[in-house]
C-alpha cells in the first residue's frame, strides 16, 4: 500500500467518490475529502498526495477556490490537480486550467478515461520527482549536493535571524582518502563515502541538512544548534565514523565547526569552518576544532 501513488479524491457526493474509488483503488492509495477545507488539510498530511481529483461544485468552498489555495502555498503548489466536474462549457475548462489544473474531466465519470488521465499525470509527476531528486542530490551518496545546500542555507540563515535561533555548521573531510583509493581501489573508496554518508543521515535531525560538497568533503548544517552543542555532535560523529570500519578499514575524519554570528553570511561561516578543518588536519587529523 505504501508504495502505491497517493491520490486525494475530493467530492461532496458519496456516489461520485464510490465511482472514482472503484476504478482507482487497485493501483493507487486513496485519501478522501468531502469538502474543500478537508482537502486542504489532507493535502499536507502524510502521505502527501501525488495527485488531487477535485470537484468544482461543493458547498462552502468550491473547487476553484480550493485550487487557488493549493497553488498559493509552497507545500502544495506542485501537487497536480485534475478537475472532475459536471461543468462542460469551454470557458469552465479554460478557467480551471488557468488556475493551474493539469487536466479537466467532465461527468458523468467514464472509468477508462479517468484511469488513462490519472495514469498519465502520475507518470509525469514521478518523472518530475525523479529529475528533481537528481538535480538536488549527490548521485553516489544520495545526500544533498552543494547546489541544494547553498539554496537551503539562505533559508536557514533567514530563519535564524528572524527567530533568533542558533545555526552551526560542520565541515567534514575524510583523512588520507587518496590512500584509500590508491591502495584499495575506487570501488572501495566509494563504499567508504557511502558508509560515512549513511552515518551522517542517521545522526541528522529534522532541522539539519547533510550534504556532500566535494570528493571526500561533507557538510552538516545544524539548525537550532549552538557552538557547544555542535562541538558535542561533531565529536559523536567523529567517533561513530572511526568505529564503523567500512570495508574493514579504519577510517577517520577531521571536522571544523562554526556558528553563525550576527551579520555573517553563509559563505563566511563556511569559510570559517573550512579554516578550522585545516587546523584539525595540521594538528594531526582525526579531531574536531571549533575555535
Phi, psi values for residue 208, rounded to 5°: -100, 160
pTM here is 0.76
**pLDDT confidence band for 221 (50 / 70 / 90):** very high
What does the alpha-carbon distance between residue 23 and residue 97 come to, in Å, rounded to a whole number? 24
Q: What percent of the chain has pLDDT over 90?
A: 96
| Residue 75, pLDDT score | 92
pLDDT (mean) for 91-113: 95
pLDDT (mean) for 246-258: 97
pLDDT (mean) for 12-34: 96
| Residue 2, pLDDT score | 52
Please provide the DSSP assignment of 93-118 as one string.
HHHHHHTT-SEEEESSP-HHHHHHHH
3-state secondary structure of 46: coil
Bridge partners (DSSP) listed for residue 6: 29
The mean of the pLDDT values for the chain is: 96
pLDDT (mean) for 190-205: 97
- Residue 33 parent element (H or E): strand 29-33
pLDDT (mean) for 215-224: 97
pLDDT beyond 60 at 1: no
Contact indicator for 58, 27 with CB cutoff of 8 Å: no
Q: Which domains does the chain have, with CATH numbers?
A: 6-136 (3.40.50.2300), 146-289 (3.30.70.270)
| Residue 88, pLDDT score | 87
Known catalytic residues? 216
- Residue 24 parent element (H or E): helix 14-24
Amino acid at each position: 500500500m505504501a508504495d502505491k501513488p497517493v491520490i486525494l479524491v475530493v467530492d461532496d457526493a458519496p456516489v461520485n467518490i464510490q465511482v472514482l474509488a472503484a476504478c482507482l483503488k487497485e493501483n493507487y492509495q486513496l485519501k478522501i475529502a468531502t469538502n474543500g477545507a478537508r482537502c486542504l488539510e489532507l493535502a499536507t498530511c502524510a502521505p502527501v498526495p501525488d495527485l488531487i481529483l477535485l470537484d468544482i461544485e461543493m458547498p462552502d468552498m468550491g473547487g476553484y477556490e480550493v485550487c487557488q489555495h493549493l497553488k498559493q502555498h509552497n507545500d502544495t503548489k506542485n501537487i497536480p490537480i485534475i478537475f472532475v466536474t459536471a461543468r462542460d462549457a469551454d470557458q469552465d475548462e479554460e478557467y480551471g486550467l488557468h488556475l493551474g489544473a493539469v487536466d479537466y474531466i467532465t461527468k458523468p465519470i467514464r472509468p477508462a478515461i479517468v484511469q488513462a488521465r490519472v495514469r498519465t499525470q502520475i507518470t509525469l509527476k514521478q518523472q518530475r520527482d525523479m529529475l528533481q531528486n537528481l538535480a538536488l542530490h549527490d548521485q553516489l551518496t544520495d545526500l544533498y549536493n552543494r547546489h541544494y545546500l547553498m539554496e537551503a542555507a539562505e533559508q536557514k540563515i533567514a530563519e535564524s535571524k528572524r527567530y533568533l535561533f542558533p545555526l552551526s555548521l560542520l565541515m567534514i573531510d575524510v583523512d588520507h582518502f587518496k590512500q584509500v583509493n590508491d591502495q584499495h581501489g575506487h570501488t572501495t573508496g566509494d563504499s567508504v563515502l557511502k558508509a560515512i554518508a549513511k552515518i551522517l543521515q542517521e545522526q541528522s535531525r529534522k532541522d539539519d541538512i547533510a550534504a556532500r560538497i566535494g570528493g571526500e568533503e561533507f557538510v552538516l548544517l545544524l539548525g537550532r544548534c549552538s557552538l557547544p552543542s555542535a562541538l558535542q555532535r561533531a565529536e559523536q560523529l567523529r567517533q561513530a565514523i572511526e568505529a564503523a570500519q567500512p570495508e574493514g578499514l579504519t577510517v577517520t575524519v577531521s571536522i571544523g565547526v562554526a556558528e553563525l554570528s550576527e551579520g555573517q553570511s553563509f559563505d563566511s561561516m563556511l569559510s570559517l569552518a573550512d579554516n578550522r578543518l585545516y587546523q584539525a588536519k595540521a594538528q594531526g587529523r582525526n579531531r574536531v576544532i571549533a575555535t
